[in-house]
Structure 1
Amino acid sequence: MVATQSQETTAKRGFQMPHIYVILFVLSALAALTTYLIPANEFQRVEGPDGREVIDPDSYGPVEASPTSILEFITAIPRGLVDAGEVVFFTFIIGGVFMVIRRTGIIENALDRLLRAFANRRLLLIPVLITLFAALASLIGTQELALVYIPVLIPVIIALGYDSMVAVAIALVGTTAGFTSGVLNPINTGLAQQIAGVETFSGAGLRGALFLVMITLGSYWVTRYARRIEKDPAKSLVYGEDAEAEKQRLYSSGAEGEAKRMTRRQKISLLLSAPVLGVTIWGVSSQGWFMIEMAGMFVLLMLIIGLVSGLTPSTISSSFSEGMRSVLEGAIIVGVARSVAVVLEDGQILDTIVYSLGNAVSGMPGELAAVGMFAVQTGFNFVVPSGSGQAVVTMPIMAPLADLLEVTRQTAVLAFQLGDGLTNILYPTSGYFMAALAIGGVRWEKWLKFYLPLFGLWVAVALAFLVFAQMTGWS
């Protein structure tokens, strides 16, 4: 029977997507080739808002060509791993921490309670969580929190009868909808408005409407998929994969018999861990903490829960290693993806690309200019998949360009938000996104099948909002 299923799968496949390592290696090679074709130019960097370096749009000029050498190319992946070390090791630590917590039995007990609470209204959990995650991302501007949500969601969502794709989608769709709309987001909206000389967080009304539309479409798409696999599990995009089968075995037993009760030690460990989580949220939202600090707090959380729950130091250590092994491939993918940007930076052509994209928009008629800016930001996000990084590079050019094209600077900021946010969970060069897929056990090509239709819907919404902003002179 296994052989028959394998033959059927092979027959259906036809074209098979290459491994993500192959895709990223080809992209790195193409990036290296462009360093021989595109002239090296550079903008001078000056101090901008909050002490950040931004480009001086009037300082563009040629620099000595630096095409990628053979040594630079063959070391691009190791250097990418070093450059992306923060995300790589955060991925390892999250994998290890949640394996230790699972070993304590706390997840199993919590699952039993959730299953009983949502047994008759499980689909309702999807839009509720997406809205919650979107609201948090829209306020504190941290899409990377999806890395924290996913390992918690997977046992819950699978126990409710769904799959890893639903768990990953809830986290990524929710955080992306909130981050992109950026109602009060300091990372993309606030910084871009400061660089563009627009009053910080002005125009929140239109962004609020965008927020509602995006979470509505996102909730619909995830719920639609969940309902489909609820009726027929074979329609799951991760159906039949070994890792998914193992998770289904672990978590899909259901709430049967008597309700499970936590031990006294488990309850105490959860009480002691609550302040750690509180401090982590405080640090991320108000102290500028990022992955290093978050990783340290999660190690502390693991030790508290593991030791107080009764695990020995040796059991904690072996479980931590097992968890890190489970996310090994995905963590390495993050560094390999970074190699593309490393090659482009070596060749000193990033500024040339920005300048050329700006010139492309300048030739557009006014009614298409806002849409052109969105296209530029969408393209540039492939090589600089960072909200703040993209803002400091592109907004000093796009803001004065908007004046020339009779597009309000507020609209230019919105084009930046949309171009940056929507592709953060599409491009394989986005480090946190690839780490999120690794933690969730979802391959990039499977995610594409799920996300591309929703991406198309969101792009249509983006274009509609940009055209509306242009036509009304939104400021």
Structure 2
Amino acid sequence: MQEKNENTKRKLQMPHIYVILFVLSAIAAILTYIIPAGEYERVPGPEGRTTIDPNSFSAAEQTPVGIVDFLTVIPRGLIDAGEVVFFTFIIGGMFMVLRHTGIIEIAVDKLTRKFSNHSIMLIPVLTAVFAVVATVIGTPELSLVYIPVIMPLMIALGYDSLVAAAIALCGTVIGFAAGVLNPINTGLAQKISGIPVFSGIGFRLTIFILAIVIAVLYIMRYARKIHQDPMTSLVYEDDQEKRKLYRHQDQVEVKHMSTRQQYAAIASLIFFGILVYGVIGQGWFMIEMAGLFIIMGTVVGIIAGLTLTQICEGFNQGFRDVLMGAMIVGIARAVAVVMEDGHIMDTIVHSLGSAVNELPPVLGAVGMYFVQLIINFFIPSGSGQALVTMPIMAPLSDIIGVTRQTAILAFQLGDGFAHILYPTSGYFMAALSIAGVAYQKWLRFFFPLFVILASLSVISLIIAQVIQWS
């Protein structure tokens, strides 16, 4: 009987994420034989970006992806996603060097002692801070930086790697989706749609606050459960090594930094200050941040007393730890590569937009949300999705009686929350790898919360349309 149960469990086990993404790529390739090819003309858009002419859709020559072409889509996906792939490697290497200096372990020990009696309150504080940063500067990719910073602390306080991932991912994606002052989705979509940039801030701020409250309560409920009984953690087995490394509750001796470690810690804070300045003031993104992290790991390592060989080995160890996540990013990108090769991406966008045209205004607003939700699977980029869909959705909203502000909100919410649901989202899969959380386990944790946030989105769109929000 026991053997039968084990066999059943193996049969019901979810496939490896590589298999899931490969199958999705294969399905996309098959669709290039079924879906008619089509394309929009590309024209100059806001801020020098390329957008589409919504009235220019036309049939194109069918270019189905054959077996020979399909063999190259994963390597080309890795090349196309190279920025995220190598950012993942470098951030993994840099934090491993910092770990080798000992300053992370000592800092965690001090913070654990300080917050041991009210550790649960770190969840709302950190989630809200990450959300505010994302809703102002539009960079949910910073979750890749946040996770390795807060992971040791969450483990040491008796939580798990899933809690650390949830704080960073949920906080940043809620801030990005609500887009209170987000130039990447709200600002760009409003420019394309021809309405004042950042208008309608009050309604978006309300959604932002409600989504944060919902997410925080959800994460805290899970965190309390595993704090009381660690065996209930979805990643209990996966976190064994992390618990050995970071759990110090029974340790009587207080750790202290040496003089060199103190200087190294100060240097780390200076580098993070430079990072914040670069992202906010200079428009830095992954390439610039990756370059800074290489210098940061090297300089901080030298100050702390590591040899150059130890620093290089630290980077190598970090590269190995995030290898799977980096590969997932490229494999996920292969789905979009297939659809672009087959010229069916524009056809899908055109067809979904036409479907919304048949709906009454209130249902049209909700329909736009689900259209954007579907498109986000294929275009997991806020700005990319805005440039492809908003030239269609803005004039379409006028035709069916949906306000343009509501159409933009449908784009924001349809694009936003799904960033940490779909395996085609590169930075999200890289973040899970850095956290050491399997996609299947994240899905089990996050999907109920996603359903709640999706319900909030639908209700918000209905209210926006009823009050004629503009």
Q: Considering the TM-score relative to the shorter chain, is it more than 0.5?
A: yes
Match of 1:452 in 2: 447
Match of 1:413 in 2: 408
How far did residue 7 of structure 1 move? 9.5
**Does 1:228 pair with 2:217?**
no
Match of 1:135 among 132, 136, 140: 132
Match of 2:398 in 1: 403
- Say how many residue pairs are matched: 470
- More divergent stretch after superposition (7-16 vs 156-165): 7-16
Aligned partner letter, 1:76 = V
CA gap of 1:93–1:470, structure 2 versus 1, over 3 A, is: same
CA distance, structure 1, for counterparts of residue 357 and residue 151 of structure 2: 46
Aligned partner letter, 2:268 = S
Question: For 1:242-261, what aligned pairs fall within 5 Å after superposition?
Answer: 244-254=239-249, 256-261=251-256
Aligned partner letter, 1:165 = L
Match of 1:237 in 2: 234
How far did residue 163 of structure 1 move? 0.6
Match of 2:457 among 456, 459, 462: 462
How far did residue 366 of structure 1 move? 1.5
Match of 1:357 in 2: 352
CA distance, structure 2, for counterparts of residue 359 and residue 37 of structure 1: 19
How far did residue 8 of structure 1 move? 7.8
CA gap of 1:225–1:13, structure 2 versus 1, over 3 A, is: farther
Unaligned runs of 5+ in 1: none
Aligned partner letter, 1:399 = A
CA distance, structure 1, for counterparts of residue 87 and residue 401 of structure 2: 44
CA distance, structure 1, for counterparts of residue 38 and residue 274 of structure 2: 44
**Does 1:304 pair with 2:304?**
no
SS at match of 2:377: coil
- More divergent stretch after superposition (388-397 vs 317-326): 317-326
Conservation of the 8 A alpha-carbon contact between 2:43 and 2:51: yes
CA distance, structure 2, for counterparts of residue 161 and residue 11 of structure 1: 33
For 1:16-53, what per-residue CA distance to the aligned partner results, in whole angstroms no more than 9, with x for missing partners?
Answer: 10001111111001000111111111111111110110
Conservation of the 8 A alpha-carbon contact between 1:80 and 1:339: yes
Match of 1:315 among 299, 302, 310: 310
CA distance, structure 1, for counterparts of residue 293 and residue 4 of structure 2: 44
Match of 2:151 among 151, 154, 159: 154
Match of 1:42 in 2: 39
Match of 1:347 in 2: 342
CA distance, structure 2, for counterparts of residue 286 and residue 405 of structure 1: 40
Match of 2:80 in 1: 83
CA distance, structure 2, for counterparts of residue 92 and residue 6 of structure 1: 41
For 1:288-323, what per-residue CA distance to the aligned partner results, in whole angstroms no more than 9, with x for missing partners?
Answer: 211111111111111121000000000111111011
Match of 1:59 in 2: 56
Aligned partner letter, 2:286 = M
How far did residue 210 of structure 1 move? 0.4
Match of 1:174 in 2: 171
CA gap of 1:196–1:233, structure 2 versus 1, over 3 A, is: same
CA distance, structure 2, for counterparts of residue 282 and residue 196 of structure 1: 30
How far did residue 232 of structure 1 move? 1.1
SS at match of 1:363: coil
CA distance, structure 2, for counterparts of residue 307 and residue 10 of structure 1: 52
How far did residue 205 of structure 1 move? 0.2
Match of 2:12 among 11, 15, 27: 15
SS at match of 2:158: coil
Aligned partner letter, 1:279 = I
Match of 1:441 in 2: 436
Match of 1:126 in 2: 123
| Runs of 4+ residues over 4 Å off in structure 1 | 5-14
Conservation of the 8 A alpha-carbon contact between 1:130 and 1:219: yes
Aligned partner letter, 2:188 = L
CA gap of 1:39–1:465, structure 2 versus 1, over 3 A, is: same
Match of 1:423 among 418, 436, 455: 418
Aligned partner letter, 2:49 = R
CA gap of 1:102–1:372, structure 2 versus 1, over 3 A, is: same
SS at match of 1:238: coil
Conservation of the 8 A alpha-carbon contact between 1:86 and 1:292: yes
CA distance, structure 1, for counterparts of residue 289 and residue 17 of structure 2: 27
CA distance, structure 2, for counterparts of residue 280 and residue 388 of structure 1: 22
Aligned partner letter, 1:337 = A
Name the TM-score, length of structure 1 as normaliser. Answer: 0.97
How far did residue 11 of structure 1 move? 6.2
Give identity over the alignment, percent.
Answer: 58
Conservation of the 8 A alpha-carbon contact between 2:77 and 2:337: yes
- More divergent stretch after superposition (404-413 vs 283-292): 283-292
Aligned partner letter, 1:469 = A
Aligned alpha-carbon RMSD (Å): 1.5
Conservation of the 8 A alpha-carbon contact between 2:109 and 2:248: no
CA distance, structure 1, for counterparts of residue 147 and residue 5 of structure 2: 32
For 1:410-439, what per-residue CA distance to the aligned partner results, in whole angstroms no more than 9, with x for missing partners?
Answer: 000000000000100000000000000000
CA distance, structure 2, for counterparts of residue 75 and residue 13 of structure 1: 32
**Does 1:384 pair with 2:379?**
yes
CA distance, structure 1, for counterparts of residue 359 and residue 342 of structure 2: 29
How far did residue 12 of structure 1 move? 5.3
